[in-house]
Amino acid sequence: MVLALLFARQGLHVTVLEAASTFDRSFRGDTLHPATLELMERLGLIEDLLTLDHTRAHSARLIRPEQVTTLANFRHLHGKYPYLAVMNQAQFLRFLHRALAEYGSATVEFGARVQGLISSGGRVTGVRYEQAGTVHTLNAAVTIGADGRYSKVRAAAGLSLRSLSPGQDVLWFSLPRHASDPHGSIDLHVGGGHCMVTTDHGERWQVGLSIRKGSYAQAKSSGVVVVRQTIGQALPWLAERAELLTDWNQLRLLSVEVSRLRRWYQPGLLMIGDAAHVISPIGGLGINMAVQDAVACANLLTAPLLQQRLQTRHLAAVQRRRSWQIAVLQAQQVVEEREVGQIVGQPQAVHMPMLLLRVLNRLPLLRRVPAYVTAYGLWPERLQRRWWKPQTRI
């Protein structure tokens, strides 16, 4: 949706195929990082965006029974938005949809399920999709797969992800939030053999409970009572509210992995976001990296598309621009996954990454580093000034 908006603002004809009938889904990524907020400001949308319901996380913390470690303190950032905006993703997507509707060259098709790619002369020239029982064809100068970790476009192209870690599974659910509860931070709670994350959504907590990879069926057979007991052990202040979990259907499974494509593109086709590189929820980097992929696409592809001279080398340039940063961040996430696993198993041990974080947070010149990397990535994508202003509107 972000890339469609950036393209449409320059007069390019763009169609978004959304498989679902609405944007409404439970337990999707919901953190808008400073890099995304600054992009919305450059597009003249930030004031309207921040009128929507959201909370602000000024830090991310690791909480263990014996110690609290600040993973990132966003107050140390010098930008205008020293926080993560926690906003329901469906709400953000509807906001982008309204912004996109201002441009006559853009269309969003709901309930449009991709069936396959159209190719000619060794080049992808569009897609076939089914909508309301009818199969349609859509021709395009470039087809961009931005359809997530289970990408139908990627599968249709015969591209396979390379796994970088064994991953884990996470059970997501919501519990009521009280005004006296902790606020202003996204917290990772580790202890007693359990790992849980809590995110403040105003009137509710979004909670993620990590379980062993592949153990979902076993967890489901044990029932929701075991989940309630785990919450009570790990987060006693939520124990009473955990009793509201009475049915397994109140929980959603997220299969967590770290993986990426070796090559993001084919002639006429480009994969971005989780379709190209699946990122762990650790650090909430998924949306941030996907949006920055979109900005890189806008910077590198808009001119060739407007001039009708797009070539495969332009698609390769997007991967060159983005892949090294994704590789470094994913390597960091693999280390963090192992670190959390070790802490769960050895709660009293001192681990080098945690020790490094403590040192960084105590040094004034370096304490912005963890927050900056979380907020912007290693080398943030900035929309080129020539693409700031829209060229056409309805």
pLDDT tens sequence across 107-137 = 999 999 999 999 999 999 999 999 999 999 9
Q: pLDDT grade, residue 285 (50/70/90)?
A: confident
Interval 286-337: pLDDT, tens: 899 999 999 999 999 999 999 999 999 999 999 999 999 999 988 888 877 7
Please compute the mean of the pLDDT values over residues 30-59 and round it to a whole number: 96
Between CA 175 and CA 244 the distance in angstroms is: 8
Question: Is residue 170's pLDDT more than 70?
Answer: yes
User: Fold for domain 2-56+87-164+258-340+377-387?
Assistant: FAD/NAD(P)-binding domain (3.50.50)
Percentage, residues of the chain above pLDDT 90? 65
**Predicted pLDDT at 362:** 53
Please report which confidence band the pLDDT of residue 35 belongs to, taking 50, 70 and 90 as the band edges.
Answer: very high
- 73, 367 in Cβ contact below 8 A? yes
pLDDT of residue 283: 67
* pLDDT tier, 256 (very low <50, low <70, confident <90, very high otherwise): confident
CA distance 384 to 185: 32
Where do the domains of the chain lie? 2-56+87-164+258-340+377-387, 168-256
C-beta of residue 317 within 8 angstroms of C-beta of residue 370: no
Q: 13-17, 195-199, 231-235, 237-241 — which one is most confidently predicted on average? A: 13-17
Q: Which residues are within 8 A (CB) of 95 and not within 5 positions of it... i.e. 6 or more apart?
A: 45, 48, 49, 52
Q: Note the pLDDT of residue 342.
A: 59
Please, what is the average pLDDT of the chain? 89
The yes-or-no verdict on residue 7 having pLDDT over 80 is: yes
Q: Report the largest interatomic distance among the alpha carbons of the chain, rounded to a whole angstrom.
A: 64
pLDDT, tens only, 70-83: 888 999 898 999 99
In angstroms, the CA 89 to CA 239 distance is: 27
Q: Which of 155-164, 310-319, 347-356 shows the lowest mean pLDDT across its residues?
A: 347-356
- Separation between Cα atoms, residue 334 and residue 280, nearest integer Å: 9
Average pLDDT value for residue range 159-170: 86
What is the reported pLDDT for 66?
Answer: 79
For range 162-190, the mean pLDDT: 88
Assess whether pLDDT exceeds 70 at residue 343. no
